[in-house]
Structure 1
């Protein structure tokens, strides 16, 4: 049963036992050590009272312990509750309460957050702390002590591939985070099949994880193990840390959000680092402005892969390395247009574009992107919400897009982000791409704000490139630039300049936070 997650790890550890599996700064473990560690943690969880089907919370940063603990929860027959580390304490409480988690494993850096919510979680029976704190404030079991005393054989727990394995939470970019349930089969199909196809994972890959493993980058951990590679844990995804570790560990692949690529492009000291080992950069989480993508290709070469996915639907499409390069007989316009796409649907993923009445639209027409595949979620934690998203087996993504004659999928925008100004639909992503085509703009975020005349007015926030200064003259120039490219309706009525954008726990630009000051005292969130 290839769909049982502990079996997948067993196979990799048998094939590659002496190779380095995980690196975390100066610490590392081989596949054999990872296998033994996973087994001991699983047995320690069972000894602590964890039973098959129990839900176990995991609150961990990227570190050496993360993957062995994750795998141990599955080997114990329990269900992993993935807690986004960038959330606040109330978010952690909600994750654990919604899932009726009986056990929590947390890193010592979250001591205060766990202490603040512990008394609000009566169903939480066992709390295990990983790492040491100077002054403990949580009555927690010591991870190292219980694991060192546990047996090193894999627990004798019968697991079916259709057993519940994983509860993840959506990023909440268009509403409150929702719990999404996966089985061993759906998650392994999602993480292994899609990961191998998208990531171009090669034998011996050295994959750096700087974005939180609680986000999309963990999809590439298991495929790296399947290929006998090494997963490098980074404490965060600041550019200096990423550059340093690429050089130090001869990193061959990584996965980032577009913001990081923008920062890499604008980093003054980038050329001081040896990045020659880097052969693959996967970008996901949000579309990348085509003009900045062209700049990245000129700077780093054809090493990029774009993915389009969602917590509910799994991976849907990808734009592979060779599709980032213009063909010999291809016009420049066709190539630039393709760079704006999210690639083509992957093997065994069906995609359709539908209108508000669920009718399938013809090729080229714009509507909601719907997908169907084996790796999609079983359903929401709250089953009453399933009908909002899944109908007749199709996941309705909430994204607006179209498919061209060559099968390329284009994301126009999030359905809930669309701005209606003067009765016309304005898609923020198109305005953002137009702004980013201007040489002074590093990043852009566009929202609709209340307007007495138009209902909603288009507002843009812009981060300028290094050395560029925002102001009235640049604002007027950028508005004119958008008018030239898109016309007067999508052109921003106002542009604000900022040093950085707020990010949500998934690392995406938090448009809810940007919108809040403009809409917080209104009963409606549209004009």
Structure 2
């Protein structure tokens, strides 16, 4: 594994990144030059080692050149979701203390409100039609394309998807480290596992680059001297065609991608070859068992699952062989012991469900939120992402759900993930969410909200059919007592369900 600058010398004309639809590419040499100019621009604007910038971009080559500039200049770069509202974007820019913010020209209309809300940040626009005074390309074009004098390793500083509340960022302390240092180091662990990447690798990452795994895998593909295909937007058939066309060897997916590819007409699925695939990584959300089994049957035992978080204090890893031997597992820890604890913090034995903690010795802080930080720790060096689950007697971890969405009905804990995983396999169901709603007698009861496949009538008869279908396959406690229908579901593009946006509608809100 080497730095971009190394491969820019030894394989200057090799494609580093290719856009899936436009076909636009950037070579290692061109990426090296562009990121150098951007790094000089950061210094020109007063952003030194340990400084912060923010980026608001769709998937495009400009974004990768800016991320690499942050990486080689010791700068913390915060990529912001393009699906957020103006106030939500402004909150992140302010919270991460970005002294410079660069926007894609696609989002230039947000500039006035962001400037008003974030006076401490200097704003620039990258792309056609930018105001000359704010034109990032024009400014960077005046800078040298050679390395800055004080190169050192920077890192992403990313925010959560806000699935259970306001997005939270992780504090990163700047330490002067060589430019080829990988931060977080867990990415090296993942990418050097079974089926790891190398110079011959071709990675496809169809998810938005403002999320941790897609961005970090795209960065690592270049540090291994390979190439990466970046999708402007995920399309299931297009993804299969790209794998076939470019001889893709590695993929980074989320379960929602698998669900949508599996629901393609079988004639479309078999139209494309996938023999070049060596390793397919997936994470971000639990993968329903039937979905994963179907993917292994289709693509072979090449799926590797990992469970981790932006906090970077722990990671589990599971090969297909592990999963087939222990169906439903997200793997064993690569970073030290996992502790399962009850509400009082007492450690639980194998098979008992509780909060999942990584006892890795690695500590983190949520920016400007000491209460949330304190709540994440069982003890120093032993912290949770907020999930619940259990270990089997061989140390394999199984996730039950987010702690925030445990349903307590008549004093019994119900974990909705199993019901969601079942519902998504019904042929008429496009997406599903399960959570607790008020029940006067029991405290809470199980509610399902369903997005049906196109053309399926959303009526009481269909709701009862789905309830009966669940009752034939689940214990009565886990069966939805009622089902509502929606035209779409609030998911991030990495497949995480923003369940609070559904659940809050059924609960009294504070005045």
TM-score when normalising by structure 1: 0.86
Task: Report the equivalent of 1:480.
Answer: 468
Q: Match for residue 400 of structure 1?
A: 388
Shift of 1:298: 2.4
Residue 16 of structure 1: how far off its partner (Å): 3.8
Shift of 1:131: 0.9
Distance 1:428 1:299 in 2: 28
Change (3 A) 1:272 1:399: same
Match of 2:484 among 492, 496, 512: 496
Q: Which secondary structure state, in structure 1, belongs to the residue aligned with residue 172 of structure 2?
A: strand
1:366 alignment counterpart:
353
Give the Cα–Cα distance (whole angstroms) in 2 for the partners of residues 33 and 154 of structure 1: 13
Correspondence for 2:120 among 119, 123, 139: 123
SS of the counterpart of 1:339? coil
- Counterpart of 1:330 in structure 2 is none
Shift of 1:112: 0.9
Per-residue CA deviations over 1:97-153 (Å, capped at 9, x if unaligned) read: 1122111111111101223221221111x32221113xx5x6753222222221122
Q: 1:367 offset after TM fit, Å?
A: 0.9
Rounded to whole Å, the distance in 2 between the matches of 1:314 and 1:186 is 15
Contact kept? 1:168, 1:181, Cα under 8 Å: no
Query: 1: CA distance between counterparts of 2:143 and 2:192?
Result: 34
Q: Where does 1:13-412 land on structure 2 (aligned, <5 Å)?
A: 13-24=8-19, 25-124=22-121, 126-133=122-129, 136=130, 140-157=133-150, 159=152, 165-183=155-173, 187-197=183-193, 200-215=196-211, 216-268=213-265, 269-313=268-312, 316-325=315-324, 335=325, 338-346=326-334, 348-373=335-360, 378-382=364-368, 384-385=370-371, 386-390=373-377, 391-412=379-400
1:192–1:219 contact (8 Å) kept in structure 2: no
2 CA distance for matches of 1:449 and 1:381? 31
1:312–1:395: 8 Å Cα contact kept in structure 2? Answer: no
Give me the whole-angstrom Cα distance separating, in 2, the residues matched to 1:199 and 1:96: 37
Distance 1:469 1:318, change over 3 A: farther
5+ long unaligned stretches in structure 2: none
Q: 1:13 to 1:272 in 2, by over 3 A?
A: same
Residue correspondences, number: 498
Deviation at 1:397, TM superposition (A): 2.0
Structure 1 pair 226–45 and aligned structure 2 pair: CA distance change class (3 A) = closer
Q: Report if the CA contact (8 A) 2:340-2:355 is conserved.
A: yes
Query: Which residue in 2 is equivalent to 1:331?
Result: none
Structure 1: runs of 5 or more not aligned = 326-334
TM-score, length-normalised on structure 2? 0.89
The answer to whether structure 1 residue 458 and structure 2 residue 446 are counterparts is yes
Query: Offset at 1:41?
Result: 1.3
SS of aligned partner of 1:369: strand
CA contact (8 A) 2:436 2:447 kept: yes
What is the deviation of 1:191?
Answer: 2.5
Tell me if the contact between 1:86 and 1:505 (Cα under 8 Å) persists in the aligned partners. no
Q: Cα RMSD over matched residues?
A: 2.7
| Contact preservation (8 Å) 1:194, 1:315 | no
Secondary structure (helix, strand or coil) at the match of 1:273 reads coil
Q: Is the CA contact 2:41–2:143 (under 8 Å) kept in the aligned structure 1?
A: yes
Distance in 1 (CA, whole Å) between partners of 2:462 and 2:319 is 36
Q: CA deviation at 1:499?
A: 4.7
Deviation of residue 192 (structure 1)?
2.5
> Mean alpha-carbon deviation: is it higher for 87-96 or for 184-193?
184-193
- Residue 509 of structure 2 is aligned to residue 522 of structure 1: yes
Cα distance, 1:52 vs structure 2 = 2.9
Q: CA deviation at 1:467?
A: 7.5
Q: Secondary structure in 2 aligned to 1:182?
A: coil
